[in-house]
Amino acid sequence: MTGEEPLKIGIAGLGTVGSATLGYLMHENARIAARAGRALKVDAIVARDRTKDRGVDTAGLRWFDDPVALAKDDGIDIFLELIGGADGVAKAAVEAALTAGKPVVTANKALLAHHGAALSKLAEETPGASLHYEAAVAGGIPAVKALREGLAGNGVTRVSGILNGTCNYILTEMEETGAAFADVLLDAQKLGYAETDPTADVGGFDAAHKLAIMAAIAFGRQIDFAGVEIEGIENVSSEDIVAAGDMGYRIRLLGMAERTAEGVSQRLRPCLTPIDSPLGAIEGVTNAVMLEGDAIGTTVLTGPGAGGGPTASAVLADIVDVARGNTPPTFGIACNDLAPARSGLSIRDEGAFYLRVALEDRPGTLAEVAAALGEEGVSIHRMRQHEHTGNAAPVTIVTHTCDLAAIEKAKTRIAALPASVAPPVAMRIVES
């Protein structure tokens, strides 16, 4: 280790991730510093409650009440933003640290998804500043480093993955227990896997933030969260889970970003994928990232996507990079050379689709559905009417390859049929 002065660290936010990071830096300092090639010292912290027991002795640290004041403080060399939130004090503190010429390490995916373009420009144009965010994507999985550095020689064609452990836990439990979405969500909240307000997770927004970040790196473009098409898992029913299983599939919330002839497509939605495929095999709270490039082919990274330890691991990796002087451009290419975001592009999305409809149990209703699909150019590969009680007959359909736009129009036609008793549900079938 060199004789340089210790790298003095300021931590804003001592929640689950901040406390875990502080604990590792205090208890495993010698090991981490040896890998960094430089002494490391936590110097100052910000937290709302100074009296809370976090399992770490904070008596010798400088306390701040204002994250922005800590970010500007001349006594720290690197600023860790572990507060969260796309705006407010987290954004102000990161901007203050970068403006002061400090390296910033953050786990804040929402901040990057919404303000990554401006923050990367500030980081790259301010001497001494840099922006590091391995912890913002897939927790302990080194997805950012793999894309930005490990696969730098590849022409990446597609990035996909299971990017939210809460959703994957819910879908796995629905498979294993047969319980309804609402019941499993309640259990997930009791176990601490889902927030009291679960919208960010089950609505797909958390995973979409991560997808937008990965797409920016993979395709050398400005981050474009507005261009992500988002659909959550709220409409996935136990009937869908059973029907998918009968056909050899599992339903997973998949993020997919790929290069097409029209541009870069970014979609986050529940899909059917084979049970034995790399993504279909992922269960519980585990995350997975699949990277496809012209030189490497396909590689899959799996691991814990959240939690104090895994996310702190990614934060520590960024601290080591800063200590080593490894500060690549934020999104892999200098921000002024990134291709512009192109939200609003109409990009074709072709494939086979699973479709569930609920119809009155009377003669002729299946013919009406087939006619509605045919009018939009959607061809039926197979159709099955399931056993039922009452007058509502559930029907599942698998289509031949068609365009998502045609499926959406067909859903509107089917919903308007007198025999339709519930809105149709459609999901893309992804074979790999």
pLDDT band at 390 (very low <50, low <70, confident <90, very high): low
CATH 3.30.70.260 given to domain 350-429: yes
DSSP SS3 for 267 = strand
Q: Quick check: 355 and 425 in contact, CB under 8 A?
A: yes
- Specify the higher pLDDT residue, 100 or 194: 100
Percent of the chain whose predicted confidence (pLDDT) is above 70: 99
Phi first, then psi: give them for residue 332, nearest 5 degrees. Answer: 90, -25
Q: What is the mean pLDDT of residues 301-307?
A: 89
What local confidence, expressed as pLDDT, does residue 192 receive? 82
What local confidence, expressed as pLDDT, does residue 389 receive? 63
Give domain 143-304's CATH superfamily.
Answer: Dihydrodipicolinate Reductase; domain 2 (3.30.360.10)
What local confidence, expressed as pLDDT, does residue 52 receive? 86
- Specify the higher pLDDT residue, 387 or 396: 396
DSSP SS3 for 72 = helix
Q: What is the mean pLDDT of residues 173-193?
A: 93
Q: What is the mean pLDDT of residues 325-350?
A: 88
Could you tell me how many helices (H) and strands (E) the chain has, helices first?
14, 18
Q: How far apart are CA 334 and CA 70, in angstroms?
A: 28
DSSP string, 124-160: HHSTT-EEE-GGGSSTTS-HHHIIIIITTTS-EEEEE
Residue 26 has pLDDT above 80, yes or no: yes
**Per the structure block, which two tokens stand in for 192?**
């601490």
Percent of the chain whose predicted confidence (pLDDT) is above 90: 81
Q: CA of 243: how far to CAs of 2, 64, 268, 395, in Å?
A: 61, 55, 21, 10
Q: What is the mean pLDDT of residues 36-49?
A: 94
Q: Quick check: 385 and 404 in contact, CB under 8 A?
A: no
**pLDDT tens column, 130-149:** 999 999 998 889 999 999 99
**pLDDT tens column, 45-85:** 999 888 888 888 888 899 999 999 999 999 999 999 999 99
Amino acid found at 219? F
- What mean pLDDT value characterizes the chain? 93
Please state which architecture CATH assigns to domain 7-140+312-337: 3-Layer(aba) Sandwich (3.40)
Q: What is the mean pLDDT of residues 222-239?
A: 94
pLDDT band at 362 (very low <50, low <70, confident <90, very high): confident
What local confidence, expressed as pLDDT, does residue 391 receive? 73
What local confidence, expressed as pLDDT, does residue 342 receive? 81
Strands (E), 47-99: 62-64, 78-81
Tokens 């889902």 found at: 194
Where along the chain do its domains lie? 7-140+312-337, 143-304, 350-429
What local confidence, expressed as pLDDT, does residue 178 receive? 94
Residue 1 has pLDDT above 50, yes or no: no
What local confidence, expressed as pLDDT, does residue 59 receive? 86
- Specify the higher pLDDT residue, 361 or 310: 310
What local confidence, expressed as pLDDT, does residue 3 receive? 54
pLDDT band at 378 (very low <50, low <70, confident <90, very high): very high
Kindly list the catalytic residues.
Answer: 210
**pLDDT tens column, 212-228:** 999 999 999 999 999 99
pLDDT band at 385 (very low <50, low <70, confident <90, very high): confident
Q: Cα torsion at 145, 261, 228, 356 (round to 10°)?
A: -120
Residue 300 has pLDDT above 60, yes or no: yes
Q: Is the dihedral of CA 345, 214, 268, 258 positive or negative?
A: positive
Instruction: From 143, 338, 350, 152, select the one nearest 260 (Cα to Cα).
Output: 350
Q: Cα torsion at 196, 198, 199, 203 (round to 10°)?
A: -170
